[in-house]
């Protein structure tokens, strides 16, 4: 394992054409690259329409539509709707989503991660958890026992999802937010940073504060 002062801890190796393609060359995409570098997963480059033709962290950037059938990919974008669109495009091209887990993340027994999941360093995912396809658990976030995630769920850094919580498709838990035991979070709901969720949240709601309440005007 490279040390913090080892250049290989921050600089990617030469592009590997047979390696993983990361869709999204922004902040989460680069954090996905960090997650891949830690266990030595070969990375071919990034897929990003806005930055195609450029180089990011020493790796080439291509258009997502240029990906070849059979290539492996991971969507490194926080927005669940964009994640859904890109995954559908890449699946339609015959590419294969892969799950990426940092070696300093902890995944407990009897937990299942769907295809395309991203679990960053310092995250803890407890026993008997189910993460749906293309879900993300960011660094230092925790997920309690028996929690169930739909597809494209996001838990931002420091988020705390308690046991037996259900997060439907596209739900997001903000940085340092807490979702208490057994709560149900509807599809597309957004839990603001540092909010404390004490009751179920309906689909599409944006809630903030402690206890979490709907954002005025949302």
pLDDT, tens digit (0-9, with 9 covering 90-100), for 104-122? 999 999 999 999 999 999 9
How would residue 49 be classed by pLDDT, with cut points 50, 70 and 90? very high
Contact by Cβ (8 Å): 139, 27: no
7-98 and 99-206 agree in CATH topology? no
pLDDT of residue 89: 98
Domain 7-98 architecture: 3-Layer(aba) Sandwich (3.40)
Summarised one tens digit per residue, pLDDT across range 131-183 is 999 999 999 999 999 999 999 999 999 999 999 999 999 999 999 999 999 99
Summarised one tens digit per residue, pLDDT across range 61-90 is 999 999 999 999 999 999 999 999 999 999
Class for domain 99-206, per CATH?
Answer: mainly beta
d(C-alpha 188, C-alpha 214), whole Å: 14
Cβ partners under 8 Å of residue 136, min gap 6 = 28, 78, 117, 118, 119, 120, 153, 154, 155
Q: Which of 11-25, 84-98, 114-128, 186-200 has the lowest mean pLDDT?
A: 11-25
Where do the domains of the chain lie? 7-98, 99-206
Residue with tokens 């299942």: 112
Reported pTM: 0.92
- Using DSSP's 3-state secondary structure scheme, residue 124 falls into strand
């Amino acid at each position: 394992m490279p040390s913090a002062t080892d250049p290989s801890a921050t600089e990617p190796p030469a592009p590997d054409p047979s390696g993983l393609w990361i869709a999204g060359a922004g902040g989460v995409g680069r954090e996905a690259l960090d997650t891949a570098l830690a266990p030595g997963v070969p990375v071919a480059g990034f897929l990003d329409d806005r930055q195609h033709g450029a180089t990011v962290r020493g790796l080439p950037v291509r258009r997502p539509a240029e990906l070849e059938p059979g290539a492996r990919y991971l969507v490194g974008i926080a927005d669940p709707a964009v994640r859904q669109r890109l995954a559908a495009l890449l699946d339609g091209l015959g590419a294969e989503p892969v799950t990426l887990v940092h070696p300093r993340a902890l995944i407990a027994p009897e937990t299942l991660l769907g295809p395309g999941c991203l679990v960053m360093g310092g995250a803890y995912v407890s026993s008997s958890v189910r993460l749906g396809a293309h879900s993300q658990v960011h660094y230092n976030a925790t997920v309690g026992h028996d929690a169930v995630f739909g597809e494209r769920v996001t838990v931002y850094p420091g988020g705390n999802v308690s046991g037996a919580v259900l997060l439907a498709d596209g739900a997001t838990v903000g940085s340092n937010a807490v979702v208490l035991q057994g709560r149900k979070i509807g599809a597309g709901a957004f839990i603001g940073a540092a909010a404390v969720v004490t009751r179920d949240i309906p689909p599409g709601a944006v809630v903030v504060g402690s206890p979490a309440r709907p954002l005025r005007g949302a």
